[in-house]
């Protein structure tokens, strides 16, 4: 499906046509700092470096960039790969620079020569330098080492050189004579030399396989095959000795481009001049990128980008001897055939070169024609059969205007203005009258499907029966064994069995339908062209709408695609075989509130942000029409289109806490996709979900529980202690009470009192015994009662003492005297004292 890709880039952006060459011109108006270009180079990322009189710009296909530098670096040139992905360059004042991470850094090689300026080249990973009469290579320590063995020639001045396959090709002055030298750098021996006349400007140019030398004064070009062999003289046609040469470049297909102060001159492999491009433009340098596209630096007009995909626009009026328009088209084998309104059939190659003209000498329209291996059958006022090889007329038949000619299995089907004619073995085998037939195809041998002005019909010649398939059907065409026609916005198909089926209803109206061996093509009223069957694929391009509406022919080519109207035949071809590379994404910069560990990006919870700036390389292949898509798993399931300014930008702001994977991929306009980049992102949880906070919280809870438990334990301990102390006090009080009872009712006292009462009973002193027993009972009751009381009246206390003393006197037979002295003013019944105090 390569023709899809070629048609997709037609007229993209600001493209211009000169002859059959399309290009894009970049100048200071597009962001380039200068229009005076000295050198070009493409790095591994696909960036184009443009050295000019004001420094160095980079170009990624979308915008021009500038190298960061703290030094002034004008008139840059000679950009060469250095070591570790770096580049080296120099200016015309003799200063050298290293290009590292898009920064320009001053670099001073340690050499003794100070005359002239250095020039650099690289071969098989080794970097070489020449300055004045010294020739060097850089060692692993990035130090220049001079070639100065005895066998190395004693050079007075090196004018130019290249290194190819470890052989140095040098234009040098030796003993005041100019020579071409081929030196084996391994042995430092001279392999060959070639003396030059004095004051001639000669330079070497290395190609993919060979080394050429060009004498800019004589136009002589040659190459090295063990010795210096002249090949040809370039001074041809517009290329004269007055034209100043600046550069020679050999394309990957073997053709040669010569840059001059009068444009580009393209030579074939035999050094025959084929084209002159960019006439009047002072070209300074030619560079072929990884895609096979060309970049042309100029001294006044900036930068020209010539895509490897080219479009040859052939205008009918510009063809030799033809001043009219195209009428009809056919493709046969690898050739295109176009009929004209003045009786000619033009044969073109698949690249648009006019191969042959069949001239019927009839000033009439070629309305239809059929190409076979040996003959061309056509209608131009009459039906002609001409010999394809010689172009000689073999037969002419007068008939009605024939709009279509089709042949299958020796049977010819002619669609005419009066009906359908079926010819077999030069005899009419069938005829359908009263219809204007514009296309007819057989379905088996018993039916014919035909396009008429009244729709699509099925005709049965043997039965002479007619069936209307679709009265609004138009543009009948054949793909494989299936027939297709359009009805307004619908595509219909008819099988060999005669089954009619609607294939698809489109949102736009089909205005043209055609087919070839690769598919069915449709043109819509919205100026969109697509493959509509078997797989729908858009063939989008930007063009003039009126031109599209007039389109009448579409077909694929071996190396491209072709479409045409009455005035123009457009053929897409490949300027030079492209070294197709898979596009890839380059991260220009990353910004945000993140930290990186290994391949994981860590973002904080609060105000987290991450901005990615990306390049889709090489962008110039798409002229900036590529896309960068991204999605964030597991949040998004569909791809989102990245913002495109000078670069592609993705902004991630305030992502919720969690673990994410950012997927990023790039797609070009031709459908190529980059490898998907993955960015692993972890957004931190808020502090109250952090492990340290949860740990502290857990520790705090444990501490709080410990404090609460300690407090409760302490409280319970204190409570229990208070209860215990209270219990002890109660116990002590009881003990004190008992002790008081014991103290007041001493057992000896009780025993002695009872013994005295017993003695009185035995002595039959019943009255005293009864009195003493009554006193003892009262005393005992008072002891029990008063001990539990905290306070007693003085009268109660005195009553207790009197009873006690009375029993003691009775027991001791009044052996002691007892006297009470009480203040008569005291109210003994109201005054209270602690119990049993007296």
Q: Which domains does the chain have, with CATH numbers?
A: 584-689 (2.60.40.10), 702-834 (no CATH)
Evaluate if residue 785 carries a pLDDT over 50.
yes
* pLDDT at 714 (0 to 100): 86
* pLDDT at 402 (0 to 100): 93
Distances (CA, A) of 201 to 180, 198, 216, 474: 11, 9, 5, 67
pLDDT band at residue 580 using 50, 70 and 90 as cut-offs? very low
User: How far is it, in rounded angstroms, from Cα 647 to Cα 619?
Assistant: 10
Q: Which of 790, 758, 753 is nearest to 775 (CA)?
A: 753
User: How far is it, in rounded angstroms, from Cα 695 to Cα 690?
Assistant: 8
Evaluate if residue 6 carries a pLDDT over 50.
no
**Section 678-684 average pLDDT:** 91
User: How far is it, in rounded angstroms, from Cα 46 to Cα 290?
Assistant: 8
Q: 635-662, pLDDT tens digit by residue?
A: 888 999 887 776 788 999 889 999 999 9
Is pTM beyond 0.85? Reply is no
**Section 694-701 average pLDDT:** 90
Q: 447-471, pLDDT tens digit by residue?
A: 999 999 999 999 998 888 899 999 9
- Sorted by sequence, the CB contacts under 8 Å of residue 47 that are 6+ apart come out as 58, 59, 60, 617
User: How far is it, in rounded angstroms, from Cα 406 to Cα 776?
Assistant: 159
DSSP class of residue 576 equals S
pLDDT band at residue 573 using 50, 70 and 90 as cut-offs? low
Tokens encoding 469 = 């398939």
Strand partners, 667: 627, 673
* pLDDT at 317 (0 to 100): 66
Evaluate if residue 197 carries a pLDDT over 70.
yes
* pLDDT at 739 (0 to 100): 64
* pLDDT at 9 (0 to 100): 31
Evaluate if residue 357 carries a pLDDT over 80.
yes
Q: Which of 443, 440, 444, 501 is nearest to 470 (CA)?
A: 501
Distances (CA, A) of 81 to 64, 124, 158, 161, 745: 21, 11, 21, 16, 127
User: 3-state DSSP call for residue 194?
Assistant: strand
> Could you give the maximum distance between any two Cα atoms of the chain, in Å?
192
Distances (CA, A) of 773 to 390, 748, 765: 177, 16, 12
Evaluate if residue 576 carries a pLDDT over 60.
no
pLDDT band at residue 127 using 50, 70 and 90 as cut-offs? very high
User: 3-state DSSP call for residue 809?
Assistant: helix
Backbone angles phi, psi at 425, to 5 degrees: 55, 45
User: Is the torsion defined by CA of 153, 159, 164, 166 positive or negative?
Assistant: positive
DSSP class of residue 624 equals T
pLDDT band at residue 774 using 50, 70 and 90 as cut-offs? confident
* pLDDT at 2 (0 to 100): 31
**Cβ-count burial 683-718 (b if 16+ within 10 Å, e if not):** beeeeeeeeeeeeeeeeeeeeeeeeeeeeeeeeeee
DSSP string for 476-504: EEEETTEEEEEETTEEEEE-TT--EEEEE
Q: 72-88, pLDDT tens digit by residue?
A: 777 899 999 998 889 99
pLDDT band at residue 743 using 50, 70 and 90 as cut-offs? low
pLDDT band at residue 20 using 50, 70 and 90 as cut-offs? very low
Q: 291-348, pLDDT tens digit by residue?
A: 777 899 999 999 998 876 555 667 776 676 656 789 999 999 889 999 998 899 999 8
User: How far is it, in rounded angstroms, from Cα 470 to Cα 487?
Assistant: 8
* pLDDT at 568 (0 to 100): 80
Contact in structure between 520 and 532 (CB atoms under 8 Å): yes
DSSP class of residue 417 equals S
* pLDDT at 370 (0 to 100): 96
Strand partners, 360: none
pLDDT band at residue 781 using 50, 70 and 90 as cut-offs? confident
Least confident range from 217-221, 486-490, 499-503, 744-748: namely 744-748
* Average pLDDT taken over every residue of the chain: 83
Evaluate if residue 68 carries a pLDDT over 90.
no
* pLDDT at 546 (0 to 100): 47
State yes or no: cis peptide before 728, omega within 30 of 0: no
Q: 248-284, pLDDT tens digit by residue?
A: 888 766 778 888 888 888 888 788 887 788 888 899 9
pLDDT band at residue 536 using 50, 70 and 90 as cut-offs? confident
pLDDT band at residue 686 using 50, 70 and 90 as cut-offs? confident
Between 233 and 162, residue with greater pLDDT: 162
Tokens encoding 516 = 């070839």
Question: Which range has highest mean pLDDT (426-430, 542-546, 571-575)?
Answer: 426-430
């Amino acid at each position: 499906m390569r023709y899809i890709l070629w048609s997709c880039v037609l007229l993209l952006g600001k493209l211009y046509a000169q002859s059959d060459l399309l290009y894009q011109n970049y100048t200071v108006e597009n962001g380039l700092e200068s229009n005076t270009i000295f050198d070009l180079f493409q790095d591994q990322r696909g960036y184009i470096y443009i050295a000019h009189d004001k420094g160095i710009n980079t170009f990624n296909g979308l915008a021009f960039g500038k190298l960061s530098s703290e030094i002034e670096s004008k008139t840059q040139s000679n950009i060469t790969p250095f070591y570790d992905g770096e580049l080296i360059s120099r200016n015309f004042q003799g200063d050298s620079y290293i290009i590292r991470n898009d920064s320009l850094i001053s670099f001073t090689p340690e050499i003794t020569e100070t005359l002239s300026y250095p020039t650099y080249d690289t071969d098989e990973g080794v970097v070489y330098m020449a300055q004045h009469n010294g020739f060097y290579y850089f060692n692993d320590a990035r130090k220049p080492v001079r070639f100065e063995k005895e066998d190395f020639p004693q050079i007075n001045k090196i004018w130019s050189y290249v290194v190819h396959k470890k052989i140095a090709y040098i234009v040098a002055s030796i003993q005041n004579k100019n020579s071409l030298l081929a030196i084996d750098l391994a042995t430092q021996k001279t392999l060959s030399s070639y003396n030059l006349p004095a004051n001639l400007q000669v330079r070497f140019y290395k190609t993919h396989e060979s080394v050429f030398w060009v004498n800019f004064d004589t136009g002589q070009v040659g190459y090295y095959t063990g010795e210096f062999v002249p090949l040809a003289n370039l001074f041809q046609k517009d290329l004269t000795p007055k034209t100043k040469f600046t550069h020679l470049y050999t394309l990957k297909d073997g053709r040669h481009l010569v840059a001059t102060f009068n444009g580009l001159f393209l030579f074939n492999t035999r050094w025959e001049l084929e084209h002159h491009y960019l006439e009047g433009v002072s070209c300074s340098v030619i560079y072929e990128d990884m895609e096979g596209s060309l970049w042309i630096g100029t001294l006044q007009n900036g930068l020209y980008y010539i895509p490897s995909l080219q479009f040859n626009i052939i205008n009918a009026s510009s063809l030799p001897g033809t001043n009219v328009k195209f009428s009809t088209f056919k493709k046969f084998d690898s050739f295109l055939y176009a009929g004209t309104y003045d009786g000619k059939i033009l044969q073109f190659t698949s690249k648009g070169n006019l191969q042959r003209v069949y001239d019927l000498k009839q000033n009439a329209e070629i309305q239809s024609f059929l190409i076979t291996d040996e003959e061309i059958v056509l209608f131009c006022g009459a039906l002609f059969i001409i010999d394809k090889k010689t172009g000689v007329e073999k037969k002419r038949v007068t008939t009605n205007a024939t709009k279509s000619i089709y042949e299958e299995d020796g049977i010819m089907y002619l669609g005419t203005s009066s009906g359908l004619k079926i010819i077999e073995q030069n005899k009419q085998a069938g005829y359908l009258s009263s219809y204007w037939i514009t296309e007819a195809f057989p379905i088996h041998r018993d039916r014919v499907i035909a396009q008429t002005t009244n729709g699509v019909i099925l005709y049965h010649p043997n039965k002479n029966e007619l069936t209307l398939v679709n009265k609004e059907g138009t543009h009948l065409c054949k793909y494989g064994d299936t027939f297709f026609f359009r009805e307004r916005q619908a595509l219909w198909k008819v099988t060999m069995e005669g089954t009619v089926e609607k294939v698809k209803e489109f949102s736009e109206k089909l205005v043209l339908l055609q087919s070839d061996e690769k598919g069915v093509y449709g043109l819509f009223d919205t100026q969109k062209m697509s493959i509509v069957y078997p797989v729908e694929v858009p063939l989008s391009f930007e063009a003039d709408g009126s031109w599209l509406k007039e389109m009448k022919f579409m077909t694929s080519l071996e190396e491209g695609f072709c479409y045409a109207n009455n005035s123009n035949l457009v053929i897409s071809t490949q300027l030079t075989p492209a070294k197709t590379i898979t596009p890839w994404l380059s991260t220009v910069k990353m910004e945000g509130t993140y930290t990186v560990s290994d391949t994981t990006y860590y973002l904080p919870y609060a105000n987290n942000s991450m901005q990615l700036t990306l390049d889709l390389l090489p962008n110039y292949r798409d002229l900036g029409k590529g896309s960068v898509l991204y999605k964030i798993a597991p949040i998004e399931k569909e791809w989102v289109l990245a913002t495109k300014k000078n670069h592609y930008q993705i902004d991630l702001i305030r992502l919720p806490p969690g673990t994410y994977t950012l997927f990023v991929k790039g797609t070009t306009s031709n459908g190529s996709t980059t490898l998907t980049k993955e960015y692993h992102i972890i957004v931190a949880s808020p502090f109250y979900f952090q492990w340290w906070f949860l740990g502290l919280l857990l520790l705090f809870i444990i501490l709080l529980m410990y404090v609460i438990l300690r407090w409760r334990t302490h409280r319970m301990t204190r409570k229990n202690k208070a209860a215990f102390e209270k219990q002890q006090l109660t116990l002590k009080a009881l003990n004190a009470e008992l002790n008081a009872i014991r103290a007041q009712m001493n057992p000896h006292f009780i025993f002695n009192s009872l013994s005295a009462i017993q003695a009185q009973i035995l002595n039959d002193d019943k009255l005293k015994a009864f009195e003493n027993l009554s006193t003892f009972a009262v005393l005992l009751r008072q002891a029990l009662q008063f001990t539990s009381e905290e306070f007693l009246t003085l009268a109660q206390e005195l009553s207790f003492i009197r009873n006690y003393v009375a029993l003691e006197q009775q027991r001791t037979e009044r052996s002691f005297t007892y006297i009470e002295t009480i203040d008569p003013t005291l109210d003994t019944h109201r005054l209270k004292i602690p119990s049993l105090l007296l």
